[in-house]
Chain A
Amino acid sequence: MTDGSTVLTKPAAPEPGSDGLSGDGMTRVHEIRRGLRRFMKNRLALIGLIFTLGMVLLAVFAPVISPYPEDAGLKVHFDKQLMPPDRDHWFGTDEVGRDVLSRLLFGARISLLLCVIVLGIAFAIGVPLGLCAGYFEGAVGQVIMRITDVVSSIPFLVLALAVSAALSPSLQNSMLAIAFIWWRSFCRLAYGETLSLKQEDFVMASRSIGASHRHIMFREILPNMSSTLLVKITLDAGYAILVGTAVSFLGAGASPPTPEWGIMVASGRHYLPDSWWVSLFPGLAIFFTVLSFNLLGDGLRDFFHVEVE
Chain B
Amino acid sequence: MSLNSQLEVRNLSVHFHTIDGTLRVIQGLNLQVSPKEMVGIAGETGCGKSVTAKLVLGILPMPPAQVVSGSILFSGTDLLTLSAKDREGVKQQIAYIPQDPMTSLNPTFTIGSLLLDAIVWRQSGGSLIRYFRKRHTGREVRNAREYAVDLLSRVDIPAPEQVMRRYPIELSGGMRQRVLMATALIGHPKLLVADEPTTALDVTIQKRTLGLLQEKIEEEHLAGIYITHDLGVARNICHRTYVMYAGTVVESGPTKALLDRPFHPYTAGLVRSIPKLTREPYEGIPGQVLDYLNPPEGCRFHPRCSRRMAVCRQTSAPEYRVEKDRWVACHLFSEKDG
Contacts and interface: CB of A to CB of B under 8 A. Distances in A.
Interface of A: 2-5, 7-9, 11-15, 17-19, 21-23, 34, 37-38, 41
Contacts of B17: 4
A149 to B, nearest CB: 28
Interface stretch (B45-53, B79-87, B204-212): B45-53
A8 B25 contact: yes
Nearest to A37: B19
B18 A18 contact: no
Given A15-B287, A15-B288, A18-B287, A5 B293 contact: no
A14 B290 CA distance: 9
Contact of B292 (A11, A15, A37): A11
A263 to B, nearest CB: 47
A3 B61 CA distance: 8
Nearest to B287: A18
A18 B303 CA distance: 9
B327 to A, nearest CB: 26
Contact of A2 (B61, B289, B292): B61
- Interface size, B (range): 20 to 34
Contact of B290 (A7, A13, A21): A21
Interface in B41-67: 45-46, 50-51, 54, 60-61, 64-65
B23 A22 contact: no
A2 B287 CA distance: 31
Given A4-B16, A41-B19, A14 B51 contact: no
Interface of B: 16-20, 23, 25, 45-46, 50-51, 54, 60-61, 64-65, 286-294, 296, 303-304
A37 B287 CA distance: 30
B50 A7 contact: yes
A18 B286 contact: yes
A13 B288 CA distance: 8
A4 B64 CA distance: 5
B319 to A, nearest CB: 24
B289 A8 contact: no
Contacts of B61: 2-4
Contacts of A2: 61, 64
Given A7-B51, A8-B46, A18 B288 contact: yes
B45 A9 contact: yes
Q: Which of B18, B45, B288, B294 has the most CB of A within 10 A?
A: B288
A34 B288 contact: no
A3 B286 contact: no
B294 A38 contact: no
Contacts of B20: 34
A5 B303 CA distance: 25
A272 to B, nearest CB: 49
Nearest to A17: B286
A17 B287 CA distance: 7
B288 A4 contact: no
